[in-house]
Structure formats: C-alpha cells, structure tokens
C-alpha cells in the first residue's frame, strides 16, 4: 500500500500521518527526514544531495525522487508506506510515477486534507512556545492558565518567527502555487480523495480510515 498525504501547513498532516502509519503498519516517509538521513549515512545519493545543500541550492526533483525510491526498498516498507507532503510539485509527481514500478509500488490513494484558509491562519498564528522548557500551547485550542505564562515552569511564552502572520501567509501562498496543482493532477487520475480537515482530529481520521478500508 502506498498513500500520499497532501495538505497545507496547519492542516494536521502530522497528527493524521501518525495515526495512519500506526493502524496500517506503514513506513512513514517525509522527504526532509530522508534527505537528512541519506546525507548523514553518506549514501551515493546522499553525497550528491549534500553538494546542492552545501551550496544553498534546492536538491533537483530527479534526485529527491531517486532518494524516495531508494527509501521504499528498505525492509520497513514491506507492508507499504505513507508519503507525507511529497510530492510537492507536479514535476516531482511525474518523476515519481516513472520510478515506482521499478520498486514494485503503485499509488493506492492520495488524501488531500483541506481546511479553510482563515482556520489555517488561526491555527498557525495561535501557537506559543515556552522560552524556558519548550512546552507548546495554542491561544484557542490549548491556552495557558495565565496569559503568556507557561503552566509547567512559569516561563514566558513567545511566538516563533515561523508562526508570524506574515510568514504564515507566505507559506500558504507557496503551497497554493506549488503543491495545490497536485490536487487536480491526482483527481484526473481518479486517485484523490478530499478530506474535510475543519472537523476535529477524530472525525478527520474517521474519514481517512473509511477510505483506506476500501482499498
């Protein structure tokens, strides 16, 4: 089984991915992780990727896909895998399609977790972190007992630069321009299911689980 999980920042992909791989016994594959691991392990592909990364350049799509392909041959992928946030572009999706048959995989389903932009902004900009112990909070979903004070250690809470309104809007725009076209790409191939990500965590997972049960 090979599942692709799509969704903008703040859609809850990480939370749902954790539940999916646990229930379905799938390997979890996120490109950022496998790029770092390939570089650390000094594989042939990892050394190639490092050359680009050391120069501050993006790793070419063909090389990223080859690293994903190599990862799919690992023993923990025997029952299948979940690709979280990959492919990121239609170009990557085309390359992925070309290499999957070489490792005995085909895409079973693409799940697109969709959340209203206003909700995404609220989720992302509402996050706060303790400057002392690193505990995480959210102004709406998990507020501290005392505003801007950590429940656990009394430290000051702050907003990370990644969670500022300006940065969040920029991240969402990048998703719209680069990754959202994948929705149509996979819809045209009858591989995509839309998931209502505005619901609570359990309801979102129920939608996903119902779809995977039918594969």
> Among all residues, which ones are annotated catalytic?
13, 88, 127, 160, 171
* CA Rg value for the chain: 19
What are the residues facing 194 on neighbouring strands? 112
3-state secondary structure of 45: helix
The rounded distance, in Å, linking the Cα atoms of 21 and 43 is 26
Q: Write the secondary structure of 104-168 as one string of H (helix), E (strand) and C (coil).
A: CCCCCEEEEEECCHHHHHHHHHCEEEECCCCCEEECCCECCCECCECCCCCCEEECCHHHCHHHH
d(CA 199, CA 204): 6
């Amino acid at each position: 089984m090979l599942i692709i999980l799509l969704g903008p920042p703040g859609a809850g992909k990480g939370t749902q991915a954790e539940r999916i791989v646990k229930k379905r016994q799938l390997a979890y594959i996120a490109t950022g992780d496998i790029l770092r691991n390939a570089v650390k392990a000094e594989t042939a592909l990892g050394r190639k990727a490092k050359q680009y990364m050391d120069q501050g350049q993006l790793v070419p799509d063909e090389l990223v896909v080859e690293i994903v392909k190599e990862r799919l041959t690992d023993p923990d992928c025997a029952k299948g895998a979940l690709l979280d946030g990959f492919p990121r572009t239609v170009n990557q999706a085309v390359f992925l399609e070309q290499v999957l048959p070489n490792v005995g995989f085909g895409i079973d389903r693409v799940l697109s977790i969709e959340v209203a932009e206003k909700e995404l902004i609220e989720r992302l900009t509402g996050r706060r972190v303790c400057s002392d112990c690193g505990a995480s909070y959210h102004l709406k979903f998990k507020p501290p007992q005392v505003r801007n004070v950590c429940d656990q250690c009394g430290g000051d809470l702050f907003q990370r630069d990644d969670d500022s309104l300006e940065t969040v809007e920029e991240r969402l725009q990048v998703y719209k321009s680069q990754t959202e076209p994948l929705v149509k790409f996979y819809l045209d191939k009858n591989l995509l299911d839309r998931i209502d990500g505005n619901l609570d965590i359990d309801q979102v997972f129920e939608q996903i689980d119902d779809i995977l049960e039918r594969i």
